[in-house]
Amino acid sequence: MRRVKEALTYSDDRGFVRDSVVPFLEALGSDALARGTCKESLGALLECMCRIPGFLGALKDTLLFLPDPAPVAWFFLNVALTVEGARRDPHVRQAAEAMQGLTGAAAQAAKQLQNLLASGSSAAPSATAVSPLEHLQSQAGGRHDNDHSDFRSIAIMPTSQEVSYTL
């Protein structure tokens, strides 16, 4: 944990966040780490990461400049689900606001995060509440401009964005 904390302490550079932190978050969001005995350790790691001075702010500031912000959106959602006090953290709240215009899996995470923050849920965060990034990526709605959670809203003719979408 100490080495992870040291490595992420220097994360205020957008290039570093994009090239190093986001792939790390993507790996942490893997289905294999969100199951079984890894789940509780993953929750502890997320808590350690969000306590690094400046880390949440750096992620929030980089969020809109990433080609795929889904891993960062996943991180903010899971921090809010698992870390005590994270739902009141201004960086988490600002990230939720910044994510409103995102698409794809990031939009799914943003929607869930905004609902969690808006509900004012006083339920205690739990390390076992971590969900894998793949679950966000596989949900209907938001992956492209013709992907709607209500199937009746889907256009019969595919759009150019839909045709070019890759999993």
pLDDT band at 127 (very low <50, low <70, confident <90, very high): very low
Compute the distance between CA of residue 130 and CA of residue 134 in angstroms, rounded to an integer.
12
Residue 27 in tokens: 């790996």
> What pLDDT is attached to residue 100?
87
Q: In what helix (H) or strand (E) does residue 160 lie, and over which residues does it extend?
A: helix 160-164
pLDDT band at 38 (very low <50, low <70, confident <90, very high): confident
DSSP secondary structure of the chain: -HHHHHHHHT--SHHHIIIIIHHHHHHHTSGGGGSTTHHHHHHHHHHHHHTSTTHHHHHHHHGGG-S--HHHHHHHHHHHHHSTTGGG-HHHHHHHHHGGG--HHHHHHHHHHHHHHHHT--PPP-GGG---HHHHHHSSSSSSTT--SSGGGS-SSPPHHHHH---
- The whole-number average pLDDT for the span 19-46 is 85
- The whole-number average pLDDT for the span 13-39 is 84
> What pLDDT is attached to residue 44?
86
Which tens digits make up the pLDDT trace of 98-110?
998 888 888 888 8
pTM (two decimals)? 0.74
